[in-house]
Amino acid sequence: MKIVMAGQGAFGQKHLDAIKNIPGIEVVSLAGGSPGTTEEVAKKYGIPHWTTDFAEALAQPGVEAVILTTPTQIHAKQATQAMEAGKHVMVEIPMADTLADAEWICDVQKKTGLVAMAGHTRRFNPSHQYVHNKIKAGEFNIQQMDVQTYFFRRSNMNAMGQARSWVDHLLWHHACHTVDLFQYQTGEICSVARGVQGPMHPELGIAMDMSIQMKTPSGKICTLSLSFNNNGPLGSFFRYIGDTNTYIARYDDLVDGYEKAIDVSKVDVSMNGIELQDREFFAAIKEGREPNASVHQALSAMQTLDKIEKSLL
């Protein structure tokens, strides 16, 4: 399967590393935002064609699909452009930074019938898959999720310490992971979703701290704290409090409430959540089915984020 990778930054390279482990996938073009770094990454990964023109990348011979790891603000435009060009698309989280744009993507998917997937990696991390399997088996029911998403990012830098060409967002990007995961794990849409935010950054124009509360119709609750001001430890930490156990998930690792490690190495074919996400995308294309984390499945998270945004104080 010939694919295009759009985005030469930190997350684009995570996907390129993951794809090395997936047979039958060939990245034939890299569409980036700046010539110098795009050419550099293309050479690093042996990609034969690179460009800063997204349409040119889509037009390369034999291209079937595209993975978007570009700035959030252009996700919707590029996702719809790809589908209208006849290409399946995975758009990294968040698929858009407004509910209206997310609905636009879903509308185009319905019109084209192509596979369109949102990059909700948490659904695929072995740690969260383990908990999901326990829930499906009737062995664990969530009573509360307590989540911390913390970074030390007081300037506009990416995960590789490089200057960003766009501004990241605690709500529409980082909260999106937890909003989707909470609703996915509980099987419910939040009936209560509200938040408060700290002062706006004088240059970036975004809140650097945020607190979110959610509740499902059956009474399950989630508390989410987010910060760009936290100086370590960094990352996202998920505590599942349930009726039979407590689980703490840190990316692809899982421990119980007493920090005893739980072996999740046999949950799936890889321990890399991004690789598993990519495998699902390619499998859905080959099998002609809706993927887990399709844009339609992810739309409810965007609706909840929209509700939270309107509540922010």
Assign 158 a pLDDT band (cuts: 50, 70, 90). low
Give the CA distances from residue 89 to residues 20, 21, 191, 210, in Å, rounded to whole numbers and listed in that order: 19, 20, 30, 31
Q: Which class would CATH give 2-120+274-292?
A: alpha beta
- Answer yes or no: is pLDDT of 157 > 70: no
Distance CA 31, CA 57 (A): 6
Res 281: pLDDT: 98
Q: Convert 127-166 to b/e letters by CB count within 10 Å (16 or more is b).
A: bbbbbbebbeeeebebeebbbbbbbebeebeeeeeeebee
- Answer yes or no: is pLDDT of 88 > 60: yes
- Answer yes or no: is pLDDT of 164 > 60: no
- Answer yes or no: is pLDDT of 155 > 70: no
Look at phi and psi of residue 74 and say left if phi exceeds 0, alpha if psi is from -120 to 50, else beta: alpha
Res 168: pLDDT: 76
> Can you tell me the mean pLDDT for 253-272?
97
Res 167: pLDDT: 58
Average pLDDT, the chain: 95
Domain ranges of the chain: 2-120+274-292, 122-269+301-311
SS3 10: helix
> Can you tell me the mean pLDDT for 122-145?
98
Pairing, β 50-51 against β 26-31: parallel
Residues 60, 2 contacting (CB under 8 angstroms): yes
Distance CA 277, CA 62 (A): 23
Percent of the chain with pLDDT over 90: 90
Res 156: pLDDT: 62
Q: Which fold has domain 122-269+301-311?
A: Dihydrodipicolinate Reductase; domain 2 (3.30.360)
Pairing, β 88-92 against β 116-119: parallel
